[in-house]
Amino acid sequence: MKYLITGYKGQLGYDIKRELLKRNVKESDILAIDKEEMDITNKEEVERVVNEFKPDIIFHCAAWTAVDKAESMEDVVFNINVTGTKNVVDASIAIGATMVYMSTDYVFDGTKVGLYTEEDEVNPMSVYGKTKFLGEEEVRRNPKHFISRISWVFGINGHNFVKTMLKLAETHNKLNVVDDQIGSPTYTVDLAKVLVDMVRTNNYGTYNVTNQGYCSWADFADYIFKSNNKDVIVNRVTTEEYLKLTGTKQAYRPRNSKFDESKLEENFELLPTWMDAIDRYNIELEEEKKLIKKM
């Protein structure tokens, strides 16, 4: 089996490669690339790379993910998240490769009472959410596809909420954090494992995939500080209060991003709890610090 990973410089692409290597996949059977090696918006370039390597599986992690910036750059974001995905899907169909696509809780408007299932009607309210859903639709043209809807992602290789909170803890003893958006953090180490499990089956389709348990951003921040012994008070505010206090404009964010994951449980395995994931991520961050000191 040969594996192509787009968006390798991001959090998830990095951990998918690590997971494949852990499972004794040969380095020569993995092509982990970023935009420098393959611009997904260039159809000819995508065709050339895919046809030369001929992967059995394509993990399509490349995407525009800056949610707020997306609002003022719709054409650019559409080009990456929709046209870019279409190019990869076309190439995957041409060689019979399986497509694995990362989607998001932003495909929903977050107004549902209760948990979102994979069958619920989408209603994206942001440029990011709309383009990621249109990307899903492109991926569905390949009958051999897995779409994983994920949220609140954190991993070692890139920027995320955990790193931001720990950085702010160095200079602040009190922080305003939103308490009316509820969802589930997703650790890329755990996500990579289930994605690699998926591609070894033909249980194709759309799956909600996050770590188990629900929290607000304020709960998330609180646990990050407590588990890292940081003495920071979390001042819980509404989204509206946060925007007023910071004077910022933001893209629409779903208030309810709680997923029903019974389909994942039925076909694969549920991920560990988000708190367990943070505990392991803290260890990974410490190990990274030690490595940097040695260099």
pLDDT tens-digit profile of 49-84? 999 999 999 999 999 999 999 999 999 999 999 999
Q: Give me the pLDDT at residue 292, please.
A: 83
pLDDT of 157 reads 95
Q: Tell me the sheet residues that pair with 31.
A: 4
Q: Is residue 256 helix, strand or coil?
A: strand
Q: Which CATH architecture group holds 3-294?
A: 3-Layer(aba) Sandwich (3.40)
The stretch 208-222 carries a mean pLDDT of 98
- Find, among 18, 10, 9, the residue nearest to 195 by Cα: 18
Instruction: List 100's β-bridge partners, or say none.
Output: 59, 146
pLDDT over threshold 90, residue 295: no
Tokens of 15: 């951990």
Confidence of residue 89 (pLDDT cuts 50, 70, 90): very high
58: tokens are 């394509």
Q: How confident is the model at residue 245 (pLDDT cuts 50, 70, 90)?
A: very high
C-alpha 231/C-alpha 238 separation (Å) is 22
Nearest Cα neighbor of 144 from 224, 105, 194, 200 is 200
**Residue 41 vs residue 294, higher pLDDT:** 41
8 Cβ partners below 8 Å, 6+ apart?
14, 17, 32, 33, 34, 61
pLDDT confidence of residue 78 = 98
pLDDT surpassing 80 at residue 255: yes
In this predicted structure, the answer to whether residue 13 has a pLDDT above a threshold of 90 is: yes
pLDDT of 291: 84
d(CA 87, CA 78): 13
CA distance linking residue 68 with residue 163, whole number of Å? 19
Please tell me the distance from the alpha carbon of residue 123 to that of residue 108, in angstroms, as a whole number: 5
The stretch 213-218 carries a mean pLDDT of 98
User: Which amino acid makes up residue 6?
Assistant: T
Spans of all domains in the chain: 3-294
Contacts of 140 (CB under 8 A, 6+ apart): 147
Name the band, by pLDDT with cuts 50, 70 and 90, for residue 118: very high
pLDDT at 248: 85
pLDDT (0 to 100) of residue 77: 98
Residue type at position 52 = E
Kindly give the interhelix angle for 43-53 and 84-95, rounded to the nearest 10 degrees: 30
| N-term to C-term CA, the chain | 35
Section 199-221 average pLDDT:
98
Residue 183's H or E segment, with its range, is strand 182-183
Whether 204 shows a pLDDT value over 90: the answer reads yes
Share of the chain above pLDDT 90, in %: 96
Determine which one of 128, 204, 207, 281 is catalytic: 128
40 with 47: CB under 8 angstroms?
Answer: no
Q: Which token pair is 269?
A: 């395995």
> In the chain, pLDDT over 70 holds for what percent of residues?
100
128 belongs to the catalytic site: yes
Q: Which two tokens stand for residue 57?
A: 């599986």
